[in-house]
Chains A and B, each alone.
Chain A
């Protein structure tokens, strides 16, 4: 309300003033629209029930979204191409890196945590030097009945079929280049793929054999991540159960390699720690 109209004597606006007023109102609508649209980014952040698995060294989710500059340098250096950038459907998380473990887990092929070194903002914490220091999540035997070891079964063939594009580093074949999982058939009396391919367990094995990765003792994980425990049920068949231990870093290789029918028997809960998992 202008002072003129309060007095009752309405002054007619000049065409120029009318034009300016319309432009001002339009501008308010434009600014409001832009801000409102940008704030829609909140919705996926608040409503997402499951947290994404983030690359090694990722800060706590809130800080991670704040610190990440959305450049994808981590994606570019990953030798197994485990890292992808999220789409706009992740709201404020657009352009932020994540790992889809079932499709391609982080197998620490690079040893030196290349993604952490590539990160320009410290969203992937530079306080990390070795794979065993990371805490991306924690593995969990989600469907014990589907687990071949629990059923007392072995495994023969390709873990994920002939069309699976995932890669792992098979140290004994090629120290430097990750190879396709589909090129490596297994023949196991009792399925132990989640333990056999666990990057932490592999390192522990190398250290025990006196050949730590890159000849660096610091690469040796202090605690085991997973092992098989025998199930005593008196039936006579050998049945084993994978048990996740507090050395698990949540890299997702077990979830990726699990050959169980209808999806993995073992999965990684992103962001979960050993303490939370055992509590």
Chain B
């Protein structure tokens, strides 16, 4: 199956499958075989790799960007400098229209009329995220993502101490909800998803002041701490699918190189969407270099984590 097709199906919820021998390119087969035959990867080897202190380069860059963008909205309004007006759902950057793709979609489906301003705003944002990776929005801009990352840390600690047992859901749930919310917008004529979107709620709370809506965001975080790791982003949020589709053909991706990988799997354990990193499992890489799929939020946690630099950001158009 083509890279884009497979990437799309996994975005919708398909579980990665073990590749058959015919699927794997001879160069990659050679590497798999070499690693197996020579027992290159030993416990000592892995321990030695992990002696170096953990990098936080991309995490720091990302948190800084996320905070800067969200604070720019706040500062722009409160100091009246008109640099970035509006909220994450729709805004003007130095007077130029920007509109969140998912919010626009909800409005278009509910309202059934499209104004030129919205077309401009949506196209601008579409092109921007097409160049920058699609779900990059999630980890580099969405304020809920940052709170969820902190909730995730708590959740993992509780699981580690065996105080709670983490629950998983089927990833296809998000796809079903995507269709349901699109239909609800069209049929009811209300932007139903916007009502419970923590992205919109948090963005507005930051800019225009807090309200009762934050209780809902609090409940979501509690659910993620005590019941299911990163549940909103993994199993619910349609914004992720919308930007995921943009990311299908985006040149900004993480790419995997199998040569030096020790296959210890730390990247998959840290990843929000570990199904995109399935090629890091021993013997699964279909090629020497494998691009990571569209569901990847380009957060760079795996890039920071990888002691062999087997995961890296690249900028190349799919198929090139």
A residues with a Cβ closer than 8 A to B are 23-24, 26-27, 30-31, 34-35, 37-39, 41-42, 45, 62-63, 65-73, 75-77, 84-85, 87-89, 91-92, 94-95, 118-123, 126
Mask for B108-145, Cβ within 8 A of A = 1, else 0?
00111101011001000000000000000000000000
Select one of A41, A66, A72 contacting B207, CB under 8 A: A72
Query: Of A62, A92, A119, which is in contact with the most chain B CB atoms at under 10 Å from its CB?
Result: A92
Chain A residues with CB below 8 A from B207, complex form: 72
Q: Which 3 A-B pairs have the closest CB atoms?
A: A88-B213, A71-B90, A66-B110
Select one of A89, A95, A118, A121 contacting B115, CB under 8 A: A121
Select one of A31, A66, A71 contacting B177, CB under 8 A: A31
Chain A residues with CB below 8 A from B235, complex form: 27, 30
| Min CB gap B286→A, angstroms | 25
In the bound complex, CA of A26 to CA of B223 (Å) = 14
| Min CB gap A128→B, angstroms | 14
Chain A residues with CB below 8 A from B110, complex form: 66-67
A121 adjacent to B90 (CB under 8 Å)? yes
A87 adjacent to B192 (CB under 8 Å)? no
In the bound complex, CA of A39 to CA of B184 (Å) = 9
Select one of A39, A65, A72, A126 contacting B208, CB under 8 A: A72
B170 adjacent to A95 (CB under 8 Å)? no
Total residues of chain B contacting the partner, CB 8 A: 55
A85 adjacent to B195 (CB under 8 Å)? no
Select one of A31, A63, A119, A121 contacting B173, CB under 8 A: A31
Query: Of B85, B181, B216, which is in contact with the most chain A CB atoms at under 10 Å from its CB?
Result: B85
A39 adjacent to B192 (CB under 8 Å)? yes
Select one of A67, A85, A119 contacting B111, CB under 8 A: A67
A76 adjacent to B77 (CB under 8 Å)? yes
Contact A120/B117 with A69-B89, A69-B103, A85-B208 known, Cβ cut-off 8 Å: yes
Complex interface residues of chain B between 171 and 205 (CB less than 8 A to chain A) = 172-173, 176-177, 180-181, 184, 188-196, 200-201, 204
B89 adjacent to A95 (CB under 8 Å)? yes
Complex interface residues of chain B between 77 and 121 (CB less than 8 A to chain A) = 77, 85-87, 89-92, 97, 99-100, 103-104, 107, 110-113, 115, 117-118, 121
Select one of A35, A94, A120 contacting B121, CB under 8 A: A120
B208 adjacent to A75 (CB under 8 Å)? yes
Chain A residues with CB below 8 A from B104, complex form: 69
| Min CB gap A92→B, angstroms | 4
B191 adjacent to A92 (CB under 8 Å)? yes
A72 adjacent to B195 (CB under 8 Å)? no
B177 adjacent to A35 (CB under 8 Å)? yes
Chain B residues with CB below 8 A from A71, complex form: 86-87, 89-91
In the bound complex, CA of A38 to CA of B99 (Å) = 22
